[in-house]
Amino acid sequence: MIKVTKAAADQIRNIARENDAEGMALRIAAKIEDDGSYEYGMGFDEPADADQRAHIEGVDILVAAHCVDLLEDAILDYVEIEDGGMDFIFFNPHDPSHKQPKG
Q: Considering the chain, what percentage of its residues have pLDDT values greater than 70?
A: 94
pLDDT per residue as tens digits for the range 14-31: 999 999 998 899 999 999
Q: Which residue has the higher pLDDT, 82 or 40?
A: 40
The pLDDT of 49-62, averaged and rounded, is 95
The model carries a pTM of 0.86
> Would you say residue 4 has pLDDT above 80?
yes
- State which CATH number among 2.60.300.12, 3.40.50.720, 3.40.50.300, 3.40.50.1860 fits the domain covering 3-91: 2.60.300.12
pLDDT for 100: 58
CA distance 34 to 23: 35
pLDDT per residue as tens digits for the range 63-101: 999 999 999 999 999 998 877 789 999 999 988 876 655
- Confidence tier at 50 by pLDDT (50, 70, 90): very high
Q: Considering the chain, what percentage of its residues have pLDDT values greater than 90?
A: 78
